[in-house]
Structure 1
């Protein structure tokens, strides 16, 4: 639709604008949704005027945007005539649909009322949750006066929580409570930092603030007081060393403030030895240059175990976790893993350290220092720093109920 046509429509409707405002005010005074009642009778110019002048509550005029799109208007055209950006149009439409689902779930009227002003941004962020989760999340957002960023974190934590089954401490958090889901996310993030460190303490304290159950708070307090385990336990014995075992979250690399780029090797000694020993960034654009060509690389967040790794870093890809000396057989057959190792430190030193070794009888494995010393090993292929589990698949597509 051309801008001249739009101008003609707006001019032809100018005489009705004032009366439309009065009608909107009249319905408002009666406590009726003006835009909803008028959407079936307003012509195009009328709908544009309602949107341009915000003549109703946001969730009442949001459906008018979808109706204009059905009439052939594009988001840029709607933005030009109403001043509502394309991003905001989508947020309003989806937010209104989320609100409708809260109404259908018999959410408390006071809860719904809390989203009458500026509620689209918050409700939009919980769009991927189930109907029951939306009600619980909406209540948490209101009670904790959350902003859009906090709402996004909460939705991500609730969506991600079921996929973390088997992670240390998971069973102590209640998946039906938004605060516990969010708390577990912070708890997990805290355990990925070096102990002790300011980042670790800060994340755990944040987890403690939002936890809703006593069981969750107890687990976090144990970690803060140094009684909990740092990551999953690899190996046996009271003095067992800890290697951080983390599950990479979908989108975590994109959200990381800094990342590391490491060569990936198959679980073969030859490939581990041949992988580039060093890569560095050059020039104003930080172009990464490796000492030689290599076909497989991985980008990981700059977690504490790999910060400052420098030369010698390599990531070895294993089809499952049976190569690790696990204390408990839990998920070790279920999924592939990446083992991050430092080839600059190959000496088998600490009894409770973990090392990559190639045994003719067992193939490439991760072994503890004391076990290797008993077999006469003094050198390894590298010291193990971190074990990474893959992200769980999540459906980030909008469901049918998110669209008109």
Structure 2
């Protein structure tokens, strides 16, 4: 038998002491008798060890493998050794956005760089962002460096725009054009353009040596050009050309001039920046007509000009107008994707009780529009149908916006005449076209004639007059 002495009292937990009155106590040697001590191991049973699975058996316990009786006499087996611990991998912070020559500067030195504008502007611009991350505000940075909040924002945005220009399509020697102190003012104006537009605008800026005001005009014209689809002369200009976008913006501006002689200098400026041949021909034609008009020469207007435009009312609903109207109309609505068959299938009024305001229709329908009882709509209420268009820019007027509109049409009048505007189906969708264009295409019958166009309410009231139609 193997006898183990009780550990020394000093190495164990607290001892049970006798009362303080006792001055002497005897140290007693306590022993336990152990049947066997099996070291932890795996697999088979070592020679000379009992077949008990390597358990440490205390007196009073059962020698079986956790058999009957209370199992408190069995100590759990020591778990097998685990795999070697993985080495600690320290956290690596992301690479600092600061240039290498600024990364080791302390706070005082970084503030000094901004205060004295030491280095190129795009090199010390990231210092402003780093100060923001450390709790600085634009006001506190301005107090420490003298750099206003406007200049801080301009530096940050311009540096981001500059980084977006760095590519194989933009040589480095062109990029140096913006390294001067005025570079942030130029690049800041390109912030609203996408990556492709920025490249073209930056090249045009360098080629024309534009100042900040000119870059602003260029960027706005490029941003606005896609929104003018369908406007007068839009098809002649190339949307992928920065010069054409700017030329078209000036072309449109010339048509808004009140005095005829004021159109000439604007068109000349448009002709100065145009790039494609089709756009140049369109501007030259407009300039020739403007010169003749300014000289008092009578010029024959084309068919699609102001004098030939039909006057179809285009109205914008006002908030609360329907609830305040003395008469309202309930008209069936057809989506533009439903096709011309839906226009014919939409219900018609079969009976009206004017005293009680009860209206009966000849068939059921899912979508209806409630409109004020305007006189043009009231006159065709029995045959009226509403076509819902998702984008008002598909309509033939120059100042159309990207918004949903309702086109009220009269199904009783299908014969196309030169002065009217009609609803018909093209490519599986309902579209609105002028009568003279349909006659040129040999189309004499349409689905319905447009009575009025209704736009949704908004805070700013605007009216499209008859001469706004293309």
What is the SS of the residue equivalent to 1:104? coil
Which stretch shows the higher mean deviation, 319-328 or 76-85?
319-328
| Alpha-carbon distance between aligned partners in 1 of 2:305 and 2:421, rounded to the nearest angstrom | 5
Correspondence list, 1:5-16, <5 A: none
Match of 2:106 among 31, 43, 46: 43
Deviation of 1:136 after TM superposition, in Å, equals: 1.1
Match of residue 93 from structure 2: none
Deviation of 1:46 after TM superposition, in Å, equals: 1.4
**Is 2:468 the counterpart of 1:387?**
yes
Deviation of 1:319 after TM superposition, in Å, equals: 2.7
Correspondence list, 1:3-402, <5 A: 36-117=99-180, 118-194=182-258, 197-226=260-289, 233=304, 241-242=308-309, 319-320=406-407, 325-326=420-421, 364-365=451-452, 384-387=465-468
Change (3 A) 1:363 1:60: closer
Change (3 A) 1:333 1:64: farther
- 1:352-386: per-residue Cα shift (whole Å, max 9, x none)? xxxxxxxxx979549xxxxxxxxxxxxxxx99444
Change (3 A) 1:43 1:333: farther
Which stretch shows the higher mean deviation, 199-208 or 48-57?
199-208
The number of equivalent residue pairs is 253
| Alpha-carbon distance between aligned partners in 1 of 2:155 and 2:149, rounded to the nearest angstrom | 10
Q: Unpaired runs of 5+ in structure 1?
A: 1-34, 246-262, 273-316, 336-360, 367-381, 390-404
What is the SS of the residue equivalent to 2:166? helix
Kindly indicate whether the alpha-carbon contact (under 8 Å) linking 2:125 and 2:159 is maintained by their aligned counterparts in 1.
yes
Deviation of 1:198 after TM superposition, in Å, equals: 2.8
Deviation of 1:161 after TM superposition, in Å, equals: 1.1
Deviation of 1:80 after TM superposition, in Å, equals: 1.2
What is the SS of the residue equivalent to 2:308? coil
TM-score (norm 1): 0.53
| Alpha-carbon distance between aligned partners in 2 of 1:383 and 1:83, rounded to the nearest angstrom | 50
Kindly indicate whether the alpha-carbon contact (under 8 Å) linking 1:102 and 1:135 is maintained by their aligned counterparts in 2.
yes
Change (3 A) 1:386 1:43: farther
Kindly indicate whether the alpha-carbon contact (under 8 Å) linking 1:234 and 1:325 is maintained by their aligned counterparts in 2.
no
What is the SS of the residue equivalent to 2:99? helix
Q: Unpaired runs of 5+ in structure 2?
A: 1-97, 291-298, 313-317, 323-370, 377-403, 411-418, 433-447, 454-462
| Larger helix fraction of residues | 1
| Alpha-carbon distance between aligned partners in 1 of 2:135 and 2:284, rounded to the nearest angstrom | 57
Deviation of 1:325 after TM superposition, in Å, equals: 2.9
| Alpha-carbon distance between aligned partners in 2 of 1:191 and 1:244, rounded to the nearest angstrom | 19
Change (3 A) 1:73 1:318: closer
| Alpha-carbon distance between aligned partners in 2 of 1:218 and 1:209, rounded to the nearest angstrom | 13
Match of residue 16 from structure 1: none
Deviation of 1:191 after TM superposition, in Å, equals: 2.0
Cα RMSD of the aligned pairs, angstroms, is: 4.3
Change (3 A) 1:180 1:98: same
